Amino acid sequence: MTALPWSAAMIAANEDFDGAPLLRKEFSLTGGHGAPVRATLRATSFGVFEAFLNGQRVGDDVLSPGWSSYEWRLRYLTYDVTGLLQPVNTLGAALGNGWYRGNLSWNGNSAFYGKELGFFGQLDIEFADGFVQAVGTDSSWESGPSATTANDIYNGQTIDARRAGTQWARPGYAAGSWAGVHALEFDASRLAEPIGPPVVRNDVVKPVSILTSPSGKTIVDFGQNLVGWLRFTVQGQPGDVITLRHAEVLEDGELGVRPLRTAQATDTLVLSGGQDFFEPTFTFHGFRYAEVTGWPGNLTADALEAVVVHSALERTGHFECSSEPVNQLHRNIVWGLKGNFLDLPTDCPQRNERLGWTGDISVFAPTAAYLYDVKDFLQDWLQDLAAEQKAANGLVPFTVPDILKYEEHPKEFPAPESTALWSEAAVWVPWALWEAYGEKDVLARQYASMAQHTRRVEGLLSETGLWDQGFQFGDWLDPDADPDQPWNSKADNGVVATACLYRTARITAQTASLLGHDGDARHFEDLAERVRAAFNGHYIGPAGTILSDCTTVYALALAFEVLDSEEKRAFAGNRLAELVAKNGYRVSTGFAGTPFITWALSESGHIEDAYRLLLEEQCPSWLYPVTMGATTVWERWDSMLPDGTINPGEMTSFNHYALGAVADWLHKVVGGIRPLEPGYAKVVFAPRPGPGIDWAKTSLATPRGTVASEWHLAPEGELILNVTVPDGVTADVDLPSTPRRTVGAGTHTFTTTGLALAGDSK
């Protein structure tokens, strides 16, 4: 059935009903047209909604329609509800504040997009003779109270079970005390079919233990830092209250809630006296621990469960090696992705922030695209980025969607402007999707955004041709910076920004060439060369030292190939390795340098240093949090100090994926699978073993089939490699100190013995 033109209106309840109104419309099927053969509901809301037909939820999605740049894109969902139709029907919706009207960011402000919640829905029913009956939201709908008496994404949800029930969504309900509705101003041209998948319940985690804190509180440990909520069935005295407080860590045996800042992360259930089912679907929390008070009787581990919530993504990439701490690190990275890929790529899922920071996904996109099929998920978010950018005259904001534009700008910072690494998301994320999936349409859709960003930064260059003016986050969260000064990095901001621009200009030029924009390609190639010349002319001293002489500047210069001679590259690689060793192989980079430092080391001939950096367990390091029991990646290397106390800085999170971008190196260098052509149309197997890891295996479900690599070191010192190549794909095998070899589909085994390569295929 072809979708009918929109005839519905955005409606709001005449009363607020505690910020969680119910809406209903009773109707009969039109007679004389035979039986209904198809019924499709398209629905969206100002706020979050759950839709019902005759008392049944119409979909498995939660927190719909998610958070988009509502000013320009309000996504709707489509449901097949044919099987729920009756002769007399009730179409209903439950609304919550969500991102539209709830608290957002750290200043305690809310209702950034509007003061009233609204619902927009149209049910199209096709009959046997082709007649279509349309039932849409209009002024004839009714509104009433729900069991939810408070709801906020940051603060939690309160449910009064004495008001619960589904009769309101069924035909024949006596809604005499209900109120009416009114239409809200709404331009239907803002409606957008979602590109990405919906948010759904993905998994269930049972408690591993029930603890009693030093103060006597009951704390449930789920053994895994996750994102979602608790659900359970319980019975107690009417009016009794169960309170659930959530946190990621314990400190001195109690919930560590200080990192949440003002987010209350508290759910409350008022009991009815009967058997009550509790599931707070208008909020979500980042937590491992839940403090439970008011539970009737003895709380046992089988009484409740944690529901893991994130966007419906298909797992594609896997990795495992001989080092169990590295395996745990990899698991932590996967869980960090799941927790922060809830409708959009956020920085963290627990405190009063949870924003789509562009810098984090700029560097993490390649890792994400290996672990999961994120093509549609990130394409949807990129649509919002382009919309925000267009409205800001080409400026890619720090967060997408950008609610910071509505906040009072901090006086200590310059006015917002394009910022290296963060604004680079406009270019780096589409390119990561192109390399992972090989679909040129991704680049075509985002090309205007990519070019606009690159041209804007071109206009910000100083007379020297460097990007050395204006505010920069720089190497954010340098581990040597004071906890309260995350911007105070060792790396010179101009060096970081100019190196980033060189990479951006090259990618934009390549994209323009791929899409046939030859004039643009020449312009951006010229820009890249001018930036490269300026970088080499101003930032590199006579001896080859790069300005600020720290690990991040060498890592970026090498990884982005900005150095213009073999001599400079050799010096930079040696100096980087020297600095890494001098620091005892502890990490000395922040958000800018960390994703690229192992790449810079291994590609410049210092693979052993890369492995030692990866495997270091002293703080700061990737494995230090693992030694402290982490089950996700932390925002700071020392979010928890060795004595078990939480970092004293105001900003710390135990679930941030940015520093987990090292997994891209694990997959492609330790595991050894890299694309020779976008979308893995051609593959290269190039594992680079190093000290401390004796075997590794990785696999990737590519658009052309599953690619797999598994290697181990034999007792005699030989490297034995097994690879799997899907039909229609060719692969190069590139092993240390051996000639490169090309193979076709199938399973192949290779053994290195000195400089000889013995190959066996089957």
Catalytic residue numbers?
Answer: 353, 635
Structure token pair of residue 746: 């199938």
Tell me if 181 sits within 8 A of 141, measured CB to CB: yes
Tell me if 18 sits within 8 A of 83, measured CB to CB: no
Q: What is the DSSP string of 350-381?
A: SSS----BHHHHHHHHHHHHHHB--HHHHHHH
User: What are the C-alpha distances in Å from 321 to residues 217, 512, 601, 603, 630?
Assistant: 40, 39, 20, 21, 19
User: What are the C-alpha distances in Å from 275 to residues 236, 237, 269, 735?
Assistant: 8, 10, 12, 63
158-186 burial by CB neighbour count: b if 16+ within 10 A, else e?
A: bbbbeebeeebbbbebeeeebeebbebeb
Answer whether the bond into residue 486 is a cis peptide, omega within 30°. Answer: no
Q: How far apart are CA 673 and CA 483, in angstroms?
A: 37
**Dihedral angle sign, alpha carbons of residues 190, 195, 196, 198:** positive
Query: Which residue in the block uniquely carries the two structure tokens 């309260």?
Result: 484
Q: Any idea what DSSP says for residue 416?
A: P
Contacts of 419 (CB under 8 A, 6+ apart): 359, 398, 470, 471, 472, 473, 497
Tell me if 248 sits within 8 A of 227, measured CB to CB: no
Tell me if 500 sits within 8 A of 424, measured CB to CB: yes
Structure token pair of residue 352: 């009063």
120 forms beta bridges with: 44
Tell me if 732 sits within 8 A of 684, measured CB to CB: yes
Residue type, 601: L
Contacts of 318 (CB under 8 A, 6+ apart): 698, 699, 700
Tell me if 66 sits within 8 A of 199, measured CB to CB: yes
β-bridge pairing 36-46 and 118-127:
antiparallel
Q: How far apart are CA 52 and CA 168, in angstroms?
A: 10
- End-to-end Cα spacing for the chain: 50
